């Protein structure tokens, strides 16, 4: 079980995809218990699975070096409530902060960054900056 933002999730091995998947408990409606004997996997380590994750989407991918600038008032919140345990303030700016962290590039990361709105500037990686721009362009096109 894993808690994130006051919601509970269960992590389980899914043989069909040969991967660990995360399921929200509040979305489960028809759980069927099977009398199948399952051998516990010895490779499961939730600490390493979620070490570089922002939220509940863990994985074994290599983390990216994320560098962002965040302006006030969001910067004040980010200092008090870091996005990730690897977050470090690398520079104090006139109207905010620059932070770096090592995280997995995931839809949750993009969503979190989008929530900062006009208070955010992505410094690196350039690929994430481009993905961010494309997402914003798609949002604008849908709202014309």
Which of 20 and 88 is assigned the larger pLDDT? 88
Higher pLDDT, 112 or 2: 112
| Dist CA 62 CA 67 (whole Å) | 16
Q: What is the pLDDT at residue 60?
A: 59
Which segment, 10-19, 32-41, 66-75, 105-114, is predicted with the most confidence on average? 66-75
CA nearest 49: which of 2, 96, 88?
A: 2
pTM of the model: 0.79
Overall average pLDDT of the 123-134 stretch: 94
The secondary structure of the chain in percent helix, strand, coil, rounded to multiples of 5, reads 30, 30, 40
């Amino acid at each position: 079980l894993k808690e994130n933002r006051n919601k509970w999730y269960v992590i389980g091995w899914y043989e069909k995809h040969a991967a660990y998947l995360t399921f929200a408990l509040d979305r489960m409606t028809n759980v069927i218990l099977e009398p199948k004997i399952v051998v516990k996997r010895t490779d499961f380590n939730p600490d390493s699975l979620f070490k570089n994750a922002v939220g509940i989407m863990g994985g074994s991918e290599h983390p990216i070096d994320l560098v962002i600038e965040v302006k006030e008032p969001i910067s004040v919140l980010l200092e008090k409530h870091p996005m990730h345990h690897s977050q470090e303030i690398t520079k104090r700016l006139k109207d905010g902060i620059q932070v770096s962290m090592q995280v997995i590039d995931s839809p949750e990361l993009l969503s979190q960054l989008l929530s900062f709105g006009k208070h955010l500037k992505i410094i690196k990686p350039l690929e994430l900056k481009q993905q961010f721009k494309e997402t914003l362009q798609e949002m604008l096109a849908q709202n014309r």
